[in-house]
A and B are shown apart, each in its own frame.
Chain A
Amino acid sequence: DSGVTQTPKHLITATGQRVTLRCSPRSGDLSVYWYQQSLDQGLQFLIQYYNGEERAKGNILERFSAQQFPDLHSELNLSSLELGDSALYFCASSVGVFSGLHEQFFGPGTRLTVL
């Protein structure tokens, strides 16, 4: 158990819908990262928040948005869902702002299926 929690574990929805994925980082970690892993592919970095502020941005679509709240939990919002958005979404957390220096701990992921 990494200490990072993600809810829900599974999510099935229809095209055009909007969903929210939630992540609680490990106690004491200030950074939260979101990744997307499509079937049998590597992880795509989406976005990083550090202590409530956006820190780095990767290949995140405009239909997707995220935020980190004062209690440090984070939410990833996916809207106007398409079939191609079906994937495993990981959240990770680390102590510091620069994850190279500090290990990232991954949550178990949320499996999103868009029908």
Chain B
Amino acid sequence: AQTVTQSQPEMSVQEAETVTLSCTYDTSESDYYLFWYKQPPSRQMILVIRQEAYKQQNATENRFSVNFQKAAKSFSLKISDSQLGDAAMYFCAYRGNNDMRFGAGTRLTVKP
């Protein structure tokens, strides 16, 4: 079964600094998708960024970028120029052929 592991339950970053959230996954599939979702205190799930496994180029969305290492099954999220509004739970997720799995989440605190 596919598993998604987020080894950092909590992370903290100073406003305007950069932070990287880690995610590793286990799969035997060759075709899949990876996601980072943000969940603020409102509990709304918001898609931050998406990566197709067949694409070698790392996805970027404004201040958010990923470091996708397919061989290592690693998918980290980098947030640049952190803002107070980035404070939230961040979930890494894997979508395979018939399944979708989420990691346990990383709680990000942004210090002013």
A residues sitting closer than 8 Å to B (CB atoms) are 2, 33, 40-45, 55-58, 88, 90, 92, 99-101, 103-104, 106, 108-109
List residues of chain B with CB within 8 A of the CB of A100: 32-33, 52, 95
Say which residue of A33, A42, A58, A104 sits within 8 Å of B103 (CB atoms): A42
8 tightest A-B CB contacts, nearest first: A100-B33, A42-B102, A106-B45, A100-B95, A56-B98, A43-B102, A45-B100, A42-B104
For the complex, what is the distance from the CA of A44 to the CA of B50, rounded to whole Å?
19
- For the residues of B in contact with A, the DSSP-based class is strand
Interface centre among A2, A45, A99, A101 (most CB of B within 10 A): A45
B residues sitting closer than 8 Å to A (CB atoms) are 4, 32-33, 43-47, 50, 52, 91, 93, 95, 98-105
Q: For residue B51, which residue of chain A has the nearest CB?
A: A100
Asked if A109 and B95 make an inter-chain contact with CB atoms under 8 angstroms apart, the answer reads no
For the complex, what is the distance from the CA of A100 to the CA of B50, rounded to whole Å?
9
Closest Cβ of chain B to A5, distance in Å, is 13
Say which residue of A2, A40, A99, A103 sits within 8 Å of B100 (CB atoms): A99
Asked if A106 and B99 make an inter-chain contact with CB atoms under 8 angstroms apart, the answer reads no
List residues of chain B with CB within 8 A of the CB of A33: 100
Closest Cβ of chain A to B27, distance in Å, is 12
List residues of chain A with CB within 8 A of the CB of B91: 42-43
